[in-house]
Amino acid sequence: MKKLIVALLVLVCCFSLFAQAAAESSGKTRIGVAMPTKDLQRWNQDGDNMKKLLEAAGYEVELLYAGNDIAQQVSQVENMINNGCKVLVIASIDGSSLGTPLAEAKAKGIPVIAYDRLIMNTDAVDYYATFDNYMVGTKQGEYIEKALGLKDGKGPYNMEIFTGDPGDNNALFFYGGAMDVVRPYIEKGQLIVNSKQVDFAEVATANWSTENAQNRMEAILSSYYAGGKTLDVVLCSNDSTALGVENALANNYKGAWPVITGQDCDIANVKNMLAGKQSMSIFKDTRTLAAKVVEMVDAIAKGAKAPVNDTSTYNNGVKVVPSYLCEPVFADVNNYKELLLDSGYYTADQLK
């Protein structure tokens, strides 16, 4: 066993040296891109876009996915540092788990850009690029406000709430933005959360998993909506959680279909939107974010400052991280053609 471990270690070291030598001999600057998982459509797009654009700009790219496994992401980032990457771009699984490898990156003078999700509790993150996460939440909340006529005093309506993974700082922003819009209506009694699950910890979904959201929705339906009570609206922070809610409703709910929010415009959810099973999604064009991050990498690699447009919002617990916030866009059946098809994001066949 010992021999096997030693042999594996030697192999990993050789590979690192080889990778570093290859990068140096190609004369290209090597950039490490760490993505959380291939399970969700968006991260595949983000990774592909980043790789394509960085290579077109003349960089060599080490792109790795960590299967939503925190320990795997930590070791991937360590390997990127040892493989001679000169800039790291990281979409973290758990924002607070990268302190140790990033301290190493900092000691070696390797700049770090947090991609989409803020990296928390470390001074070793230089920049953050994302969509305006709070705005994502307010757009979802405002959609509900309008769809139900809450400003006109309509209600009461029954609502349930699903947000994302507690280790993802974004989830707090999505939840916060949406709750700032809908909470006053809960307080006035126009929105009633029958499960009483309203606090962030109660409505979080581990790993943003469709299955976890589905299980929780099924439990809520059988405990609070059996016997014909109508569920009018489900606030979902993103498409993977919305999909779980939609699956649970399809199997266990006979009433009128509720208003359901989402985010990402994943193919499965756009199809549900066209079938009347999801009311809206937020479109975050991953091409825009990737292009902006490549611009940032390019600036840093040339020793300049990266472009930012927000220097106050994203405090990671240690410092305010200079950020570039792209604007998220509201999408529904009325504008999806223009947003998703005309822009070449999807082909019509993909949505059939």
Q: Which is nearer to ligand BGC, 238 or 278 (CB)?
A: 238
Contacts for 296 with CB less than 8 Å, ≥ 6 apart: 113, 127, 129, 306, 307, 324
Nearest approach, Cβ of 83 to ligand BGC (angstroms)?
A: 26
Interacting residues with ligand BGC between 253 and 272 (CB under 6 A)? 263-264
Q: Which is nearer to ligand BGC, 45 or 82 (CB)?
A: 45
92 makes contact with ligand BGC (CB under 6 A)? no
User: Exposed, middle or buried by CB within 10 Å (0-12, 13-18, 19+), for 309?
Assistant: exposed
Helices (H), the chain: 2-26, 41-56, 70-82, 99-107, 133-147, 169-188, 200-203, 210-224, 239-252, 267-274, 286-301, 336
Task: Return d(Cα 89, Cα 71) in angstroms, integer.
Answer: 17
Quick one: which of 31, 40, 88, 325 contacts ligand BGC (CB under 6 A)? 40
| Whether the bond into 156 is cis, omega within 30 of 0 | yes
> Total residues at the site for ligand BGC (CB under 6 A)?
13
Task: Return d(Cα 25, Cα 219) in angstroms, integer.
Answer: 58
Nearest approach, Cβ of 346 to ligand BGC (angstroms)?
A: 16
Nearest approach, Cβ of 77 to ligand BGC (angstroms)?
A: 18
Contact code string over 201-230 relative to ligand BGC, x by CB under 6 A: -------x----------------------
Q: Which is nearer to ligand BGC, 60 or 116 (CB)?
A: 116
End-to-end alpha carbon distance in the chain: 52
Q: Which stretch binds ligand BGC (CB under 6 A): 60-68, 98-106, 163-171, 271-279?
A: 163-171
Q: Which of 216, 218, 262, 219 is nearest to 243 (CA)?
A: 262
Nearest approach, Cβ of 242 to ligand BGC (angstroms)?
A: 10
Residue 92 has a CB neighbour count (10 Å cut-off) of: 28
Q: Which is nearer to ligand BGC, 47 or 164 (CB)?
A: 164
Task: Return d(Cα 30, Cα 14) in angstroms, integer.
Answer: 18
Q: Which stretch binds ligand BGC (CB under 6 A): 19-27, 71-79, 162-170, 214-222?
A: 162-170
Q: Which stretch binds ligand BGC (CB under 6 A): 25-33, 51-59, 164-172, 342-350?
A: 164-172
Task: Return d(Cα 284, Cα 329) in angstroms, integer.
Answer: 7
Give CA angle at 260 (236, 91), nearest 5°: 35
117 makes contact with ligand BGC (CB under 6 A)? yes
Quick one: which of 60, 132, 145, 168 contacts ligand BGC (CB under 6 A)? 168
Nearest approach, Cβ of 161 to ligand BGC (angstroms)?
A: 16
139 makes contact with ligand BGC (CB under 6 A)? no
Nearest approach, Cβ of 174 to ligand BGC (angstroms)?
A: 8
Buried b (16+ CB within 10 A) or exposed e, 111-133: bbbbbbbbbbebebbbbbbbbbb
170 makes contact with ligand BGC (CB under 6 A)? yes
Contacts for 156 with CB less than 8 Å, ≥ 6 apart: 189, 190, 191, 192
Judge whether 182 and 235 are in contact, CB under 8 Å: yes
Place of tokens 């876009």: 49
Quick one: which of 238, 269, 279, 281 contacts ligand BGC (CB under 6 A)? 238
277 makes contact with ligand BGC (CB under 6 A)? no
Quick one: which of 42, 86, 139, 277 contacts ligand BGC (CB under 6 A)? 42
Contact set with ligand BGC (CB under 6 A): 40, 42, 116-117, 164, 168, 170, 208, 238, 240, 263-264, 284
